[in-house]
Amino acid sequence: MEASAAPVFGRTVEWEVSPGLVDYPGAVSRMERLAASVARSEHPEQVWLLEHPPLYTAGTSARDEHLLDPGRFPVFRTGRGGQFTYHGPGQRVAYVMLDLNRRGRDVRAFVRMLEDWLIRTLADIDITAESRDGRIGLWVQRPKAPAGVEDKIAAIGIRLHRWVSFHGISLNVAADLAHYSGIVACGSVSHGVTSLRELGSTVSMAEVDTILRRQFEAVFGPTIHMATARP
C-alpha cells in the first residue's frame, strides 16, 4: 500500500496568542517541534504571540562580559542570532515559524520584512521607528535628545531549520526597563532601550496584538486566528 502524501497547506498563517506567562524552555521546545513540522509540510506556518517571565537569553554572538548581573534572572543560551536580550512581562514576543522555501530563500530580505512589519506596527501607534545598518532591531529617537541618540524598542533574532524560521521578534509595550540593567542589551553600550509606555503611549497589549496582526498580513499575507494554547 502506498504511503499517504503529506498534506499541502495554503499560504494562510496560523495566528495564536497565549495568555499569562509562558516559560522559556517550554516555548523553545514547542517552537522547535512546530518548525520541524512545517519543514515536513505537516503543519501550517504559524505566528505565536506570548509573554515570558523575567529572563535573559544569549544569542550565538553573546559575549560573557555583557552579562552584568548573572544571578538576577535565569539565563538561557539559545541558537538564535544576536547577543544578550531580555524578555519579561509587558513585552510582546512573537515567535515566527515561516517557510522560506515558499517565500524565497533570502535571509536578509526576510529580516527586512520583519523590520517592515514592526515599523508599520509602530507607525500605527504614531511612533517613528527605523532600522540601522550594523544594529539589529528597531530604533527610535530619544525624546528631547540630540540627533542620533536613539533607544531600541524592538529586537529581532531568528534561527532557521531546513529554511523554516523560528524565534522571531520582541516589542517593548510596558516592560520594566530597569530589568535591562543586568545585561549589555544586544551588545550596544552607547544606546539605551525604551518602550511604548515610556514614549507616552497608553496602547494596551491587546491593541498592540490587533495592530501586529493587521500589519503582518500587509507584509506576509493572510492569517487565521487559532485558539489560545500553551506549550
> Which amino acids are annotated catalytic?
186
* Angle between the N-to-C axes of helices 107-123 and 205-220, in degrees from 0 to 180, rounded to the nearest 10: 140
All 3 cell numbers of residue 223? 492569517
Beta-bridge partner residues of 150: 141
Q: Which residue type is seen at 62?
A: A
Q: According to DSSP H, which parts of the chain are helical? A: 24-39, 100-103, 107-123, 205-220
Residue 48's alpha-carbon distances to 18, 19, 28, 132, 178, in angstroms, are 8, 11, 11, 26, 26
- Within 8 A by CB and 6+ apart from 189, the residues are none
